[in-house]
Amino acid sequence: MALRQIREQEDEILRKKSRDVNIDDITAVKIQSLIDDMIETMHNFNGVGLAAVQVGILKKVIVIDVEDGNGPYVLINPEILKTKGSKECEEGCLSFPNQFGKVVRPTEVVVEFYDRQAKKTKLKAKDLLAQAICHEVDHLNGIVFTDLVIPGTLEYVTPNED
DSSP letters, 84-153, are E--EEEEEEETTEEEEEEEEEE-SEEEEEEE-TTS-EEEEEEEHHHHHHHHHHHHHHTT--HHHHPPTT-
Q: Where along the chain do its domains lie? A: 12-79+109-144
Catalytic residue check, 136: yes
Whether 160 has a pLDDT exceeding 80, the answer reads no
Section 34-46 average pLDDT: 97
CB 105 within 8 A of CB 127: no
Average pLDDT, the chain: 95
pLDDT beyond 60 at 162: no
d(CA 153, CA 75): 30
Q: What is the CATH number of domain 12-79+109-144?
A: 3.90.45.10
Contact 114, 77 (CB under 8 A): yes
How many other CB atoms sit within 10 Å of the CB of residue 39? 19
Strand partners, 111: 80, 123
| Annotated active-site residue in 8, 136, 155, 161 | 136
Model-wide pTM > 0.85: yes
Write the pLDDT tens digit of every residue in 120-148. Answer: 999 999 999 999 999 999 999 999 999 99
Residue 84: pLDDT above 60? yes
